[in-house]
Chains A and B, each alone.
Chain A
Amino acid sequence: MRPRKLRARMFLWFMALATVLVVVSGAAHLYETREALLELVDQELGRTARDLAERYAAGAPLDTTPRSPRESEPRSFEVYTIPDGVLVARSPTLGHSTQLLDATRRAALLAPRTAGDSWTEEVSALGRLRLYAMQHALAGRPAPGTGPAALLIVTSQDLKEVDDELRDVIAWTGATLAIALVLAAGAAWMAVRYLTRPLREIAEAATRIEHGNGEAIPGPGAGDEIDALAGALERAFSRLRDAYERQARFASDAAHELRTPVAAVLAQAEVATRRERTVDQYRDAMAQIVEAAQRMQQTLDALLLVARGGSDTTRVREGVADLVSVVREATASCEVLAGSRAVALHVAGPETAPLAGDPRLLGILVRNLVENAVAHSASGNSVEISVSVEPAVVTLRVRDRGDGIPADALPCVFDRFFRVDESRSRATGGSGLGLSLVRLIAELHGGTAKAESTVGVGTTMTVQLPPNAPHTGEGAVGANVRG
């Protein structure tokens, strides 16, 4: 059987449940009705038996059927003596060969008892009968040996009419419940459609997203389970989208970045082999090729790093990093470069700044920012690196006193192909992906990177990262790595 739609399955389950309920309640109703009818019959049979007993006591003849409110029903009786079991009277409606009680049952009923007893039995030639047996003590004739001390009176009534009535009840109940089932089916179908509509909408939205023109996943807005599902899907989708876009953008940046060194290698090799060269010319070409290949390697390292670190924010944030110690290590590794340009590096911050993140990636972020700042600084300038911890955010600021960036260029400084000064990457020996990498790593940590600058005064690069846990107080312990 092929899998059905959820809608159809829900409907079938609902209808199965409704049918079971209808059948059980119908059966219960029928049982109640039958019991009530039999109770009525028993009451009348009991009254008839008592009537017979009174007549016997009064010495009246018992050969006629006693009067009853329901005369239309054929009624029979038998009267036995107790304890001998001698048949003293029987209704004329019974034929000679027909007996209401067989020997076994008679023996059982002759045993001493108090209450009346009734049961339903098929009696051949009489049909389905309700029988009622009652023992009746005879007052005033107690002398032993003179007659029976008590009587066993058995009355019976044909159940044909009760059965007819029950059949009517079955027909009516069945019809009513069938109508109820049909109505329930309609209501169930509408309810199922209504309940599954948000699911269809989610599926349609997901399909649109799959085809690339998707927006957000719609939730019914009721705060129910489907809302939760829609929310979870939307979060998953948007996380995947963000990760994909980040990685695609970075891969594109890196691929473009590779073009220049590849072009250099190709041009050098092609030109060098076009004709005979001197040893010095070959040596020079090889040196240029090595230099270009090293730049390629840096770009490839950055790409691999991103691929391994994953584009997934969650995975990156599984680690724990102390931004302050990351800053100290990264700054120390920039000392040689800074020293060669006579630029002083100042680090200020609290003792620690713990956050959820990858120390290696954060180290690359800090190094790129510091190298960028050093490249922009004139000889004798200083670069200030500060970390501050607030409850909701850990902030890293790298400030240089360089030429600054024009206001219209500020929003684009993190884009690979927008460079205010192209020479900076080569001057610092970076892969040229520097600020693009900074933004990528900040975003991988769920943070942001932005640049503020005043032309002629300097530039401040600010990276804000979420901490791993609420943190109180802002440390102010300064540390001077280089005076």
Chain B
Amino acid sequence: MRILIVEDDPGIAGALRTGLEDEHYVVEVATDGESGLAAARTGGFDLVVLDLLLPRLAGMEVCRRLRAARSAVPILMLTARDSTRDIVAGLDTGANDYLTKPFSFEELLARVRALLRSATKALAATVRIGPLAVDTAARRATCSGIPLDLTAKEYQLLEFLAVHRDQVVSKDRLSRSLWMHASEPESNALEVYIAALRKKLATTGGDGLIQTLRGAGYMLREVAG
């Protein structure tokens, strides 16, 4: 999952980057409104954490322009303003959630998870596909009740496929959700992770869950019958 943080305060931006990266999100930071808007429009992010008081372009304006450009990316507004009027204005401009400073990092994480969940139409933190259960809050997965011993990247890959269940996910999109820059890893890195994941699933009764669609990408789907 790719998260864009648009925040000019180095203390807050740094902590958010570290904390979110700990949770295996792919994080990018923009320190002013203009670069934040540009990144949000082109970066293929799954979520934007947007401060309102920004140099060059106010957060509210970034949000308005993103929505005007038909971007549906979930936006979590982060600001020192806490009046009802400000919150209403923020949400009406197109923000999906609103968090006032100072905030608890755990709460921010929970809101990030909730926003990502609703964006992928998932109903709860745990996604179940046949014998597979992916707990996106605890970042653990089980298959047929047996815990899967996954590396961080393997888990991220599985979670991304799980929350986008029954959809074809392109290799490019999968790569970008795993790495900051899609072109950097060797071209077969994704295939290597997919193979490892398939092997671990096969030993726990999850054989055939990950399907390959030639030239399109991968899909996680319950095996019929």
Q: Which residues of A contact B12 (CB under 8 A)?
A: 260, 263-264, 267
Within 8 A of B (CB), among A263-293: 263-268, 270-272, 274-275, 281, 284-285, 288-289, 291-292
- Among the interface residues A259, A271, A284, which one has the most CB atoms of the partner chain B within 10 A? A271
Q: Does A422 have its Cβ within 8 Å of any Cβ on chain B?
A: yes
Within 8 A of B (CB), among A218-268: 256-257, 259-268
Q: Does B16 have its Cβ within 8 Å of any Cβ on chain A?
A: yes
The answer to whether B10 touches A291 (Cβ under 8 A) is: yes
The answer to whether B8 touches A426 (Cβ under 8 A) is: yes
The answer to whether B11 touches A292 (Cβ under 8 A) is: yes
Distance in angstroms between the alpha carbons of A256 and B86 in the assembled complex: 13
Q: Does A417 have its Cβ within 8 Å of any Cβ on chain B?
A: yes
Q: Which residues of B contact A261 (CB under 8 A)?
A: 9, 11
The residue on A at minimum CB distance from B16 is: A267
Distance in angstroms between the alpha carbons of A291 and B14 in the assembled complex: 13
Distance in angstroms between the alpha carbons of A356 and B80 in the assembled complex: 37
Q: Which residues of B contact A289 (CB under 8 A)?
A: 11
Q: Does B110 have its Cβ within 8 Å of any Cβ on chain A?
A: no
Distance in angstroms between the alpha carbons of A87 and B104 in the assembled complex: 130
Distance in angstroms between the alpha carbons of A162 and B56 in the assembled complex: 110
Q: Which residues of B contact A292 (CB under 8 A)?
A: 9, 11
Encode B99-116 as 1/0 by CB contact (under 8 A) with A: 011111110000000000
Contact A266:B22 (CB < 8 A) given known A288-B14, A291-B10, A423-B55: no
Number of residues on chain A facing chain B (CB within 8 A): 30
A-B pair number, CB within 8 angstroms: 89
Distance in angstroms between the alpha carbons of A363 and B164 in the assembled complex: 61
The answer to whether A262 touches B102 (Cβ under 8 A) is: yes
Within 8 A of A (CB), among B1-59: 8-12, 14-16, 18-19, 22, 32, 53-56
- Among the interface residues A264, A270, A423, which one has the most CB atoms of the partner chain B within 10 A? A264
Q: Which residues of A contact B121 (CB under 8 A)?
A: none
The answer to whether B55 touches A421 (Cβ under 8 A) is: yes
Distance in angstroms between the alpha carbons of A274 and B101 in the assembled complex: 20
- Among the interface residues B11, B18, B56, B102, which one has the most CB atoms of the partner chain A within 10 A? B11
Q: Does A419 have its Cβ within 8 Å of any Cβ on chain B?
A: yes
Q: Does B173 have its Cβ within 8 Å of any Cβ on chain A?
A: no
The residue on B at minimum CB distance from A292 is: B11
Q: Does B139 have its Cβ within 8 Å of any Cβ on chain A?
A: no
The answer to whether B103 touches A266 (Cβ under 8 A) is: yes
Q: Which residues of B contact A272 (CB under 8 A)?
A: 15, 18
Point out residues on A near B: beta carbons under 8 Å: 256-257, 259-268, 270-272, 274-275, 281, 284-285, 288-289, 291-292, 417, 419, 421-423, 426
* 8 further interface pairs, Cβ-Cβ under 8 Å (given A260-B9, A423-B8): A264-B10, A264-B11, A267-B19, A274-B22, A275-B22, A289-B11, A419-B53, A422-B54
